[in-house]
Amino acid sequence: GAGVSQTPSNKVTEKGKYVELRCDPISGHTALYWYRQSLGQGPEFLIYFQGTGAADDSGLPNDRFFAVRPEGSVSTLKIQRTERGDSAVYLCASSLGPGYEQFFGPGTRLTVL
């Protein structure tokens, strides 16, 4: 596609529920990144994929967070047993490869009630 797309744009869920956030990177971009941005803060790194594999998942806050990229294109960020503190905008970015400019999607705003 022309840019990175993310769905849904907004997600409201209840504490304890499971959510999936989807990212469609720019076609041909092998690197994909997930970030979390709290209100008034800069994005915080969560996980980085090179192809299908998670090359760096050191930013995932705990084991409730998991991400996959089974075919090296679309990625899904999965959050189990959501907590109110998970409320944030989740940004996805992709790049031609590691070290190249990252292009960001519009984000998914997650609200946990």
Partner 1 sequence: KNQVEQSPQSLIILEGKNCTLQCNYTVSPFSNLRWYKQDTGRGPVSLTIMTFSENTKSNGRYTATLDADTKQSSLHITASQLSDSASYICVVSGDNTGTASKLTFGTGTRLQVTL
Q: Count of CB atoms within 10 A of residue 56's CB?
A: 14
DSSP letters spanning 42-83: --EEEEEEETTEEEE-TT--STTEEEE-TTSS-EEEEE-S--
Q: 62, 80, 78: which is closest to 70 by C-alpha?
A: 78
Which stretch, 60-68, 71-79, 80-88, 105-113, contacts partner 1 (CB under 8 A)?
Answer: 105-113
Residues 44-63, mask of contacts with partner 1 (x by CB under 8 A) = xx--x------xx-xx----
Cβ 4 to partner 1 shortest distance, Å:
7
Closest approach, Cβ 22 to partner 1, in A, equals 15
Contact residues toward partner 1 (CB under 8 A) are 4, 31, 33, 40-45, 48, 55-56, 58-59, 91, 93, 95, 97-99, 101-107
